[in-house]
Amino acid sequence: MAYPLENKGVLTVVLERFQKHRLPRIMRIKNLVDNGGTLNQSDINFLSKVFHDTQQYSYFVSTHQEYQTLFSDVTSLYDKITKNALNNEAKITKISTLS
């Protein structure tokens, strides 16, 4: 059975969805946490879905070098967002317990 992303139409749709819908939201979330904000449940659900999908694409990326940089950048971005969000939550929790 062929991997779905091997189909040029499927690959095109996945890349277009990422560029037009997912990446702009990811960047808004990154901006939020970079400025000390925290994630709401909708943000968490969205990032979980993006992370799950990214994991699903890892096999395809491992056999298509031209997508490895994009894959690595998205994974790194996800990591930065989650680390900043956790740090922001910890700061808020610490401030709350001091009050």
Confidence grade of residue 54 (pLDDT, cut at 50, 70, 90): confident
Considering the domain boundaries, does residue 6 fall inside one? no
Considering the domain boundaries, does residue 2 fall inside one? no
Q: Which domain holds residue 71?
A: 14-22+40-98
Considering the domain boundaries, does residue 8 fall inside one? no
**Sequence-ordered alpha helix ranges (H) in 1-99:** 8-17, 23-34, 41-56, 58-62, 68-98
Q: Does residue 3 sit in helix, strand or coil?
A: coil
Considering the domain boundaries, does residue 73 fall inside one? yes
Structural contact between residues 34 and 82, judged by C-beta atoms closer than 8 angstroms: no
Considering the domain boundaries, does residue 92 fall inside one? yes
| Number of structural domains in the chain | 1
Q: Average pLDDT for residues 21-34, to the nearest whole number?
A: 97
Q: What is the DSSP string of 11-32?
A: HHHHHHHIIIIIHHHHHHHHHH
Q: What is the pLDDT of residues 36-45, one digit of tens each?
A: 999 999 999 9
Q: What is the pLDDT of residues 56-84, one digit of tens each?
A: 888 888 889 999 999 999 999 999 999 99
Considering the domain boundaries, does residue 83 fall inside one? yes
Considering the domain boundaries, does residue 80 fall inside one? yes
